[in-house]
Structure 1
Amino acid sequence: MDNPVRVSILQSMNSDLLIVGGGLNGPALALAAAQAGISSTVVDALPTQTRTRNDFDGRSYALALASKRMLAALGLWEQLEAHTQPMQEIKVSDGRVGDAEVFLGLHFNSAEIEEGPMGYMIEDRYLRTVLLDAMDSNDLITHKPESRVVSQANNASQASVTLQDGSVLTARLLIGADGRQSGTAQRAGIQRTGWGYGQTALVCAIDHEKPHGGVAHQLFMPAGPLAILPLPGNRSSIVWSETEENAKSINALSDEDYLAVLRPRFGNFLGDIDLAGARYTYPLNLTLANSFVGERLALVGDAAHGMHPIAGQGLNAGLRDVAALAHVMSHAARRGEDYASPQVLARYQQWRRFDTASLAAATDVFNRLFSNDNPLLRAARDFGMAAVNAVPELRRTFIREAAGLTGELPDLMRG
């Protein structure tokens, strides 16, 4: 028989989960939890109008096939699919000026795996709006925009946060989905390990004269990688890494001068190019939370880990956190366990911390190996890429890794 005191505490809670962060991972977790009958309150510092702006601003994401499966399982893919661009191929070159039109390295083709395209590109405005609309129409989810957490408290029976207006929210479990500078992690005393790369990502979108054919390009330059990622139509997303000093100077240029610097790096394989939407810069660093869990607390997405965008796995790693945490909680709930208990949260941490640390280490090594013009390293990496390219089984392994199909998959990502 249930303890009457415990029943009273649970009845007084606002929801089962308190999710701090209304970007992408927070709403995705609320929707995933709702499928298991777990209620959520999502605390979002930004106003809804900011989140739902529908003008093109150049921001976009590469969704791995496993992430697409998750969005389909949440009932969202039908609304998203028309706004996506399948990535049929990935070409990786040890780039030099003008090399973009002459393939020199790895070639991954989705036709080599049975499951279909290894990934999809989608603009931020579509993914964010669909997540918010689904969240706001779900009876198990309460969305609190323009709300900022100023303090939190966790104990053996519940988690709580105090908002800037003085109101207090309580739940069984507190989730930090609030980015690399996670206030949730800081308030819980969770330290981070990491370092900067001395690089800045210049991010924009471009219109181009020729069709991209659904091919993504990764060009490795001495200062850092240049990713050219296909969007619907004759448009691509650019993630261009430069040294901090160069990036600052380039970003200060006019649009025309900015393009004048980009064009020789980009090459002419897509014809003439023009900027589309806004330009952004992001400092590049590696940051890992020393623990993904605490007392009645779990971290997901960038709050748990942030890594170099060299592999385009940032959002995918966050969605995998979400799917893994939802999996662990739902299976625990079916067994009658308290899904906010240390034992259950330890399963989530064991599942995700090793995977994300391994991915972070791999992106760190690749960035250091390729972001230089050392002739010996260039020869070694070109030989390595040629070797992988020559062995079909190795290529398929890399393709499945890029598609998010390796390792133990959470229920939502199994298809």
Structure 2
Amino acid sequence: MNSHPDSASVLPSKDLVILGGGLVGMTLALAAAKQGITSHVVEREDPADLTAEGVDGRASAISAASWNLFANIGLGDVLAPLGCPIESIAVTDQHKPGRIDFRPKANEGTLGRMYSNRDIRLALFEAARHEPNIAWHTKADVVKRERGPHGVSATLSDGRVLPGNLLIGAEGRRSPTREEDGIGLVAWDYHHTAIVTALAHDRPHDNVAWEIFYSAGPFALLPLLDLKTPTASGRVHRSALVWTVPTKDAAGVKALSDGTFVAEIEKRMQGMFGGIELIAKRMAYPLTYQNATRIVGDRLALVGDAAHGMHPIAGQGLNLGLRDVGALVEVLAESMRLGLEPGDAQVLKRYENWRALDNFTTMSVMDGIVRLFGVPGRTASAVRRLGMGAVQRMPSLKTFFMNEARGLSGQLPGLLR
């Protein structure tokens, strides 16, 4: 039997072969397409399944810089009415005195916007369908990846071969592309699990994102737009919940009856939004830290969770991936205008150098916060609240943290400005 692919099964070559068509992979394909850069995008799942009601109940905080990226690639009009502005962030240690409030000045805009992942996916997928620079291959499994001196290719299980110039791993934390290249990980397990769902409540959230720290783990309430149709009990205000519990307790928490689960949430909310009810199914995600020892190889670049995965404590994971997208597209577009190939080693080195410091700094800060607030005991709590009170009284420090939350610090790619 001839092992060489039939010439009819080799598709036209593209600049990029993007493995993984999720939030980061598809944003990359669209951002590249706007610069005239072509791509094959391979996604294992069926887009209809990924965007079905109730499949992914997660919501993401989109920073100001990430919002600029979406607007700059033509998604602003579609996404603008779907996101809930985050006008301030309240950080508290178990509701005790000494909290911090991050609230920008009136002329500085919001700290970001909360979106359901489903809404972002729908907007990305709809745009991809109409983009001639994107060849989108769904329900497709990659069985072979090849990289050589003159190009790359991905072979699908149905025999089709997708040739290109640069291979991009965007498959998420368990990226087979990263593993196949032998790229190592600096990684550890937090031994915590995030329980994610959505709540309807009596009182409005006033566009405030709450991060409430308990010794067992953070408890975050993130503002979402009001429901268009009230619940059976007449509630329209809603928030996303990310409740971090020790992994040994996660199965038990997930198995609680709705009534008992709501009672546990009410205990931690202390009546701040009045009566509450569950309006989405509960999902559980183990929390780990992982950072690739490098994010490029021969004709290879990693983006998003394939390159770095972090604790969701400040909602920066997706935003970090979108900064990868902005930097990579800028480096590729500038280099290709100079006549260099996308897979050129010096092009990829520039991308890696640009992202290295931001990735390391952001992930180290978030890991430090997780560890600081995870120290149990009254003394630790008192020290934390003393520190938080000091930050509350220092406008310059609060501005620094707000710029970090907005994604506006460091050397920003043009697409994120």
Query: If the TM-score is normalised by the length of the shorter chain, which range does it land in?
Result: over 0.9
Counterpart amino acid of 2:142? V
Structure 2 partner of 1:392: 395
Structure 2 Cα separation of the partners of residues 372 and 15 of structure 1: 51
Structure 2 partner of 1:8: none
User: Aligned ranges for residues 96-135 of structure 1 at < 5 Å?
Assistant: 99=95, 104-111=98-105, 114-135=107-128
Structure 2 partner of 1:235: 238
Counterpart amino acid of 2:306? A
Residue deviations 1:46-68 (CA, integer Å, cap 9, x gap):
01211232458532110000000
- Residue 204 of structure 2 corresponds to residue 211 of structure 1: yes
Contact 1:60 1:121 in 2 (8 A): yes
Contact 2:392 2:398 in 1 (8 A): yes
Structure 1 partner of 2:4: none
Deviation at 1:274, TM superposition (A): 0.5
Structure 1 Cα separation of the partners of residues 145 and 246 of structure 2: 38
Contact 1:151 1:187 in 2 (8 A): no
Q: Could you tell me which of 375, 379, 398 is aligned with 1:376? A: 379
Structure 1 partner of 2:5: none
Structure 2 partner of 1:4: none
Deviation at 1:123, TM superposition (A): 0.9
Deviation at 1:380, TM superposition (A): 2.5
Deviation at 1:284, TM superposition (A): 0.3
Structure 1 partner of 2:146: 153
Residue deviations 1:264-315 (CA, integer Å, cap 9, x gap):
0122110011011111000000011111001101000000000001111011
Structure 2 partner of 1:273: 276
Residue deviations 1:89-145 (CA, integer Å, cap 9, x gap):
1000011xxx2xx76311100226x43011000111211000001011000001100
The 3-state SS of whatever aligns with 2:16 is strand
Deviation at 1:163, TM superposition (A): 1.2
Structure 2 partner of 1:37: 36
Deviation at 1:12, TM superposition (A): 7.7
Contact 2:193 2:247 in 1 (8 A): yes
Counterpart amino acid of 2:186? T
Structure 2 partner of 1:74: 73
Contact 1:250 1:261 in 2 (8 A): no
Structure 2 partner of 1:17: 16
Residue deviations 1:310-332 (CA, integer Å, cap 9, x gap):
11101100111011100111111
Structure 2 partner of 1:318: 321
Gaps of 5+ in 1: 1-10
The 3-state SS of whatever aligns with 1:169 is strand
The 3 A distance-change label for structure 1 pair 115 and 40 is farther
Structure 2 Cα separation of the partners of residues 295 and 124 of structure 1: 32
Paired residues in the alignment total 398
Structure 2 partner of 1:180: 173
Counterpart amino acid of 1:65? A
Contact 2:217 2:245 in 1 (8 A): yes
Structure-1-length-normalised TM-score: 0.93
Structure 2 partner of 1:262: 265
Residue deviations 1:199-241 (CA, integer Å, cap 9, x gap):
0000000000100010000001101111100000110001111
Structure 2 Cα separation of the partners of residues 294 and 57 of structure 1: 32
Contact 2:11 2:160 in 1 (8 A): no
The 3 A distance-change label for structure 1 pair 297 and 343 is same
Structure 2 Cα separation of the partners of residues 158 and 383 of structure 1: 57
Structure 1 Cα separation of the partners of residues 40 and 264 of structure 2: 46
Contact 1:221 1:372 in 2 (8 A): no
Structure 1 Cα separation of the partners of residues 276 and 375 of structure 2: 27
The 3-state SS of whatever aligns with 2:114 is strand
Contact 2:15 2:342 in 1 (8 A): no
Structure 1 Cα separation of the partners of residues 411 and 336 of structure 2: 20
The 3-state SS of whatever aligns with 2:339 is coil
Structure 2 Cα separation of the partners of residues 348 and 80 of structure 1: 28
Contact 2:202 2:273 in 1 (8 A): yes
Structure 1 Cα separation of the partners of residues 288 and 338 of structure 2: 40
Structure 2 partner of 1:6: none
Structure 1 Cα separation of the partners of residues 302 and 37 of structure 2: 17
Deviation at 1:13, TM superposition (A): 4.7
Deviation at 1:166, TM superposition (A): 2.3
Counterpart amino acid of 1:344? V
Structure 1 Cα separation of the partners of residues 246 and 277 of structure 2: 23
The 3-state SS of whatever aligns with 2:376 is coil
Counterpart amino acid of 1:15? K
Residue deviations 1:61-86 (CA, integer Å, cap 9, x gap):
10000000110001101101111100
